[in-house]
Amino acid sequence: MKINNRLVLTGLITLGVVGGAANGAFSSGLDTWKSGKNNNRIIDVQNKGGTQVDTGKVGIDFFSNSSFRITSPRGISIIVDPWRNDPSGAWGLWYRMDFPKIDVDIGMSSHAHFDHDAIDKIDANMLLDRMAGSFSLGDVKIRGIADKHQCVASGSVNWTEAVKQFEGRENICPPTNARHFDNTMFVIETGGLKLLMWGDNRPNPPKEVWDQVGKVDMIFVPVDGSEHILSYKQADEVFKKSGAKVAIPHHYLVPETTFYTSTLQPADEWVKTHEHTLLDSASIQVSAKDIKSKRNHVMYFGSNNMVTN
């Protein structure tokens, strides 16, 4: 019997076999192919080292949860850990809105959890997803240090047992953890500062990891009133061991963007146990000179954020 090849091909396309797996051909994902933009800006940075005259300052903008935009003195912008609601529905509704579709040169994600990995939500010229190793562009150097996510819930919500139930596993800790319990810490060097983005890393990485991190100037540490990722004691120990002059809390409740169903709480209590600055804006400019005399100092954005402010 002669088969009409055109009909067969049409049927395969309808079933989603051509161009992908039967159940994945029409799945959502990165839509970079739809963008009308190009990489002219990046080529310009390659040739000139930046997009502007050196300001001598590093910009830090808080986008709620664990997401920050870092802007180098020469104008290169980086978004770390954009967030989304859990696509599986298992963890309920966390966010009141989508992450804003903002232009950025480099998009980064520390690990594959919904509250850190919405790299499809940003309009990035390039993406560094869980990158280990070194990257440099213009006046920015980034080192990714591969380690592990915190796997023991130390606070008021025992999410460890919830994860075990969802995955049907007895142990989620290394070395038998699934990929979503891997974490990459990023050290961003720019403007004479070394910024350590902790992500949701475990509090006790091995010595070789600390050796790769080295001494930093500022650390972005996950701490909140529910002690969801790090306990207060663990956050203090990580802060001290990093050698950072300044810590910036993240992964805490911002009611303007995040529902209480997230189980997160503000970080006010931990902040007040340190010499601190309560920031009155979602955006700051910092230089090495500005923090030179700081010791064990916390800068706290509170509810100030770039999404709703």
Q: How does pLDDT run across 170-179, given as a tens digit for each residue?
A: 899 999 999 9
pTM score of the predicted model: 0.90
Q: Which of 24-33, 69-78, 235-244 has the lowest mean pLDDT?
A: 24-33
Contacts of 139 (CB under 8 A, 6+ apart): 49, 50, 54, 72, 73, 74, 76, 190, 191
pLDDT of residue 72: 98
Alpha-carbon gap, residue 305 to 278, rounded angstroms: 13
Task: Please give the Cα distance from 131 to 178 (Å, whole number).
Answer: 17
179 or 34, higher pLDDT: 179
Region 99-120: mean pLDDT is 97
Q: What is the pLDDT of residue 13?
A: 34
For residue 123, the tally of other CB atoms under 10 A from its CB is: 15
Environment class of residue 225 by beta-carbon count within 10 Å: exposed (0-12), middle (13-18) or buried (19+)? middle
CB–CB of 77/69 below 8 Å? yes
Which tens digits make up the pLDDT trace of 292-309?
A: 999 999 999 999 999 999
Task: Note the helical H segments in 38-83.
Answer: 40-48
Residue type, 245: K
Rounded CA separation 219/241 (Å): 11
How do residues 117-129 score in pLDDT, each as one tens digit?
999 999 999 999 9
- For residue 237, the model assigns a pLDDT of 98
Task: Give the domain ranges of the chain.
Answer: 54-300
Q: What are the phi and psi torsion angles at 48 (to 5°)? A: -115, -10
Q: Give the CA-trace dihedral at 261, 267, 270, 276, to 10 degrees.
A: 180
* Side chain identity, residue 30: L
Instruction: Give the pLDDT band of residue 31 (cuts 50, 70, 90).
Output: confident
Encode pLDDT of 187-219 as tens digits: 999 999 999 999 999 999 999 999 999 999 999
Alpha helices in the chain (DSSP H): 5-15, 40-48, 159-167, 207-213, 232-242, 268-271, 288-291
Q: Which amino acid is at 183?
A: N
- What is each CA distance from 117 to 47, 83, 87, 174, 199, in whole angstroms? 30, 6, 11, 21, 11
Q: Which CATH superfamily is domain 54-300 in?
A: Ribonuclease Z/Hydroxyacylglutathione hydrolase-like (3.60.15.10)
Tell me the pairing of strands 297-300 and 246-250. parallel
pLDDT band at 30 (very low <50, low <70, confident <90, very high): confident
**CB-based contact 220:198 (threshold 8 Å):** yes
